[in-house]
Amino acid sequence: MGLFRRGPKRDPRDAPRDPAFEFMSFEEGRRLRALTRESFAECGLEVSVYADHMTDASGRHYNLYNLAAGCHNDERGPRAWPILIQDHVQKLVRAMDSPALATMPADELWARLYPRITADDSLPDDPAFAYAPVPAPGLREVLGLDLPESVQTLPADALAELGDLPSLRLRAMNNLRALPIEDHDVVKHTDGANFHLIAGDSFFTASRALVLDDLVPRVTGQPLGPDGALVALPFRHLLAFHPITGMDVVPSLTAMAAFAAYRHDEAPGPVSPYAYWWRRGRLVQLSERSPDGLAIVVDQEFSALLERLLGEE
């Protein structure tokens, strides 16, 4: 996944910025929209162009953030944008023309069903997604189909055609547990901070936070203890975690909070810029952004945990 490699050549930061995507210059944003509109036209769709999205004559909405972030982070630089954008648009159009629910047998749909943690503001403001629980403020857990070229987030009416919601979620969670571990690394700092990174091409990599008690033993060879773990899910292809066993949790929390904020802002499929405490399947937010920068904010329960760990040193 190239988590720490040097990025592609970009316009200088002092160039005028794009109104929707601060990580792009004004000129880069203009070129992104022009190439995207051209690619839709080549597929036979005329679209109306807005700062952060496009719409077609049928009212379908195409968010540009993930495409913009993908172009921005592509190591080949702007010369690769035409092919990258064309490929992205063609996949979108093919997904629209091949509705999976109408063509796949139920057992194949069940095998492709996964839970997905997503940012709340990335979902449509639609009662059809009211079924999605809130694992932490600003986050939602939806069910989606992992298709060959895209992920289809399912509304309630589509799920009703597949079965009852508790059974579907159980199937989806089992599918999530069965995902292979694509790339594992350990980050260690001189101050004692340390955390594991799980990266992968799967759109559900960050969502493995939902099954951390299963993932940690597979990765570390040790069961997750009763105090749980720190976890961060900055974007869909990356998950970070630190099993809590001692006072190295303090520098690890600071490092993970900074890491999550940094990796969230310019990545395709952003999920959350914050660090969390995972305990018995529950997520508690431990970092936040303030006018003064990044802040660590802990509740009474986590403070009590730190006091106990300090007494055990």
Name which of 5, 85, 24 is nearest 263 in CA terms.
5
CA gyration radius for the chain?
21
In percent, how much of the chain has pLDDT > 90? Answer: 56
pLDDT value for 95: 66
Average pLDDT of the chain, as a whole number: 89
DSSP 206: G
Percent of the chain at pLDDT > 70 equals 94
pLDDT band at 121 (very low <50, low <70, confident <90, very high): confident
DSSP 80-111: GHHHHHHHHHHHHHHHHHS-HHHHS-HHHHHH
Name the residue with tokens 């709340």.
Answer: 120
Which residues does 187 contact at the CB level (< 8 Å), separation at least 6? 193, 194, 195, 196, 197, 240, 255, 259
Contact (CB, 8 A) for 203 and 116: yes
Task: Check if the beta carbon of residue 114 is closer than 8 Å to that of residue 144.
Answer: yes
State residue 257's pLDDT score: 96
Summarised one tens digit per residue, pLDDT across range 46-100 is 888 988 888 887 777 788 888 888 888 888 888 889 988 988 888 777 666 655 6
Q: Which residues contact 114 (CB under 8 A, 6 or more apart)?
A: 143, 144, 145, 146, 172, 175, 176, 204, 207
pLDDT of residue 27: 92
Sign of the CA dihedral with 159 first, then 155, 201, and 219 last:
negative
pLDDT value for 177: 97
Tell me the average pLDDT across 210-229.
96
Q: How many angstroms separate the first and last alpha carbons of the chain?
A: 37
Give residue 118's pLDDT.
93
The mean pLDDT of 92-109, rounded to a whole number, is 72
pLDDT of residue 1: 43
* Angle between helical axes of 300-312 and 249-264 (0-180°, round to 10): 140
pLDDT for the residue numbered 266: 78
Q: What pLDDT, on the 0 to 100 scale, is given for residue 4?
A: 42
User: 165-170 contacts: CB < 8 A, separation 24 or more?
Assistant: 165/131, 168/110, 168/113, 168/143, 169/115, 169/143
Specify the pLDDT at position 5. Answer: 45
Number of C-beta neighbours around residue 147 at 10 A: 16
Token pair of 30 as six digits: 């203009």
Strand segments (E) across the chain: 47-49, 53-56, 61-63, 113-119, 139-146, 151-153, 183-188, 194-199, 229-235, 238-243, 275-279, 282-285, 287-290, 293-296
Q: Which residues pair with 145 in a beta bridge?
A: 113, 152
Please tell me the predicted confidence (pLDDT) of residue 53. Answer: 87
Q: How confident is the model at residue 43 (pLDDT cuts 50, 70, 90)?
A: confident
Stronger pLDDT, 123 or 103, i.e. the higher one: 123
Residues 6+ apart with CB under 8 A from 310: 247
* Per-residue pLDDT band at 9 (split at 50, 70, 90): low
Q: Identify the residue with better confidence: 149 or 78.
A: 78
Give residue 269's identity as a one-letter amino acid code: G
pTM here? 0.80
Cα–Cα dist 13/205, whole Å: 31
CB contact set of 227 (below 8 Å; sequence gap of 6+): 244, 245, 279, 305, 309
pLDDT value for 161: 84
Least confident of 148-152, 187-191, 208-212: 148-152
What tens digit of pLDDT does each residue of 234-286 get? 999 999 999 999 999 999 999 999 999 999 987 888 999 999 999 999 999 99
- The 3-state DSSP class for residue 258 equals helix
